[in-house]
Chain A
């Protein structure tokens, strides 16, 4: 297993090594030591590698991940797994703002809490937060699923498109055009699958409420001026 110590190895060497892994390579399990809050750790992965980061990271860890499995054994700064295409990112601690922003695919699991704007502009990613999320989460969310085992802050799902939101605890307030929706069997089945993928046990899908777009703001209408 390649071990890269960021206390002595430049960040560029780590990322370039991850980008240079040829298809079918055997040595695909990386360990990163001493991240010490570094930004842009393990970004732009485009191969099925695993990266275990032993500590906390700064901004944009696992940004644009496409197929990798990145685990942060600590907390993550802003924009973790931003624009993820595919793969899995797991944060053992908390995540700062913009977690999973604009993500297009893959699974982001945050075992602690996530700050504001979690899942902002999400475009297909699945995000499961074991704790709570901050305000303005899933703002302009287009597609994908945001599952929150704890509570959600103000203005959840503001200006939401087709992203689906599941919250187990309380929601401080809903944003413009976001409403609570009926939880049908298809949603319970979907949620059970997401919880299983995220390694969540002893929590039932029936404990969640579902939120989505009322689709009242999909086409610009001057009579909705109060909502803009």
Chain B
């Protein structure tokens, strides 16, 4: 009598899950790694793992809708003769014309301007439309120097020296040929249709000592007027912040791994850099150790979605936050009304990330004239302004509940953590305890 295995239900591997298997098959079939846009999609400790404590007997709250809770922020107070005054501490992150369509850039400028905040250029330079529609515009100074022009440097309100970004600390970029229209090609001084590589490091400086001299040059060219930001990816936030301060930055922009990119390798996005939550406290510590907290402003980006995220970032010590992905969603990116078209592209609303292919049904991450027409920059700008307003009101609601009359008065003491990981990263106590991993306490 032959032995027969008793029936066991099929069990899938946690290590080799469906997505991993599909990736192995895709790699084997195509011979190329996955390139996509956006930030990390893996679950990492985030602001969701923090809670505010609110008021109690020892902390009294402010009256909602009655008692003022200020949201303004001034950026660039250290050296610049003309620092930036914003009404809200939520700025629009750098995204390039080229990666984004002209109407999308216009919409971002319009929404930011209505809201009293700044928007930021990206790789590829500044367009007249963007300058015209952005009351406060930060000009990114990038390794590729595509479109770099001293006239634009002077007509900017601030300059952001980009050392890295959260999606790919240490990585450059690639704008594939299908998105290189005549105008994009001209702005970047390259032939139409070829892939445009964005360098991973600056061509004329290396290291913090050189950066100090580069910042000196930028200040000299702009007669000391413009705030100089230094943007770093979330890699070594304590030392990068300290070195940026040492190099003379007015503002440090710190981008965690949830921060998006127009296009890079998925393996890079998912495996290089640290979560935003893990970056903030070391950066704030560096500023405090140098006596520069609130003197050199800290802007945090990467996965900011709501007013509570804003409030938490500020409570951890940031002066402002920056949004990219959320702003694109607000103006129409990944909208379910294009579901049928997303499916034709092999994706679905909420997951579409092949921004580099230039086929975005929402008309945002494309240079296709027909697709671009789908985005009404005026209506989209209004949506962004609405969204920024909601985020601001939400942050104010939380701040008042904690008894703060300015968002900047929020403190780490107002927070607790839901998980040990978040407690360790944010350096606030695990809920119900006074314990912070690595810090002692009960």
Binding site for B on A (CB under 8 A): 11-12, 15-16, 19, 39-40, 43-44, 46, 58-60, 63-64, 66, 78-79, 82-83, 85, 98, 101-102, 104, 117, 120-121, 123-124, 139-140, 142-143, 159, 161-162, 218-220, 222
- Contact partner of B203 (CB less than 8 A), chosen from A58, A98, A162, is A98
- Contact partner of A44 (CB less than 8 A), chosen from B144, B150, B176, B177, is B150
Contact call A219/B195, Cβ cutoff below 8 A: yes
| Listed stretches B209-217, B283-291, B318-326, B390-398; interface member | B209-217
A200 to B194, CA, bound (A): 36
A82 to B141, CA, bound (A): 13
Interface size on B, residues (CB 8 A): 33
Task: Report B194 CB to chain A, min CB distance, Å.
Answer: 4
- Which 6 residue pairs of A and B lie closest in terms of their CB atoms, listed nearest first? A44-B221, A98-B204, A79-B204, A218-B194, A64-B150, A102-B145
Q: What are 28 A-B interface contacts by the 8 Å CB criterion? A: A11-B220, A12-B220, A12-B223, A15-B220, A16-B223, A39-B213, A43-B217, A43-B221, A44-B221, A58-B213, A60-B213, A60-B214, A63-B217, A64-B153, A66-B150, A82-B204, A98-B203, A101-B204, A104-B149, A104-B189, A121-B144, A121-B199, A140-B203, A143-B189, A218-B177, A218-B195, A219-B195, A220-B176
In chain B between 184 and 238, which residues have their CB closer than 8 angstroms to a CB of chain A? 188-191, 194-195, 197, 199, 203-205, 210, 213-214, 216-217, 220-224
Q: Does B346 contact A (CB under 8 A)?
A: no
Q: Does B174 contact A (CB under 8 A)?
A: yes
A46 to B213, CA, bound (A): 21
Q: Which residues of A sit under 8 angstroms from B195, Cβ to Cβ?
A: 218-220
Q: Which residues of B sit under 8 angstroms from A64, Cβ to Cβ?
A: 150, 153, 221
Scoring B189, B199, B214 by chain A CB atoms within 10 A of each residue's CB, the highest score goes to: B189
Q: Which residues of A sit under 8 angstroms from B32, Cβ to Cβ?
A: 222
Contact call B203/A40, Cβ cutoff below 8 A: no
Task: Report A176 CB to chain B, min CB distance, Å.
Answer: 12
Contact A142:B213 (CB < 8 A) given known A19-B223, A101-B204: no
Contact A222:B31 (CB < 8 A) given known A12-B223, A102-B204, A123-B189: yes
Q: Which residues of A sit under 8 angstroms from B221, Cβ to Cβ?
A: 15, 40, 43-44, 63-64
Contact call B224/A12, Cβ cutoff below 8 A: yes
Task: Report A158 CB to chain B, min CB distance, Å.
Answer: 12
A218 to B203, CA, bound (A): 20
**Chain B residue at minimal CB-CB distance from A163:** B189
Contact call B189/A142, Cβ cutoff below 8 A: yes
Contact call B213/A43, Cβ cutoff below 8 A: no
Q: Which residues of B sit under 8 angstroms from A83, Cβ to Cβ?
A: 145, 148, 150
Q: Which residues of B sit under 8 angstroms from A19, Cβ to Cβ?
A: 223
Contact A120:B191 (CB < 8 A) given known A44-B222, A63-B221, A64-B150: no
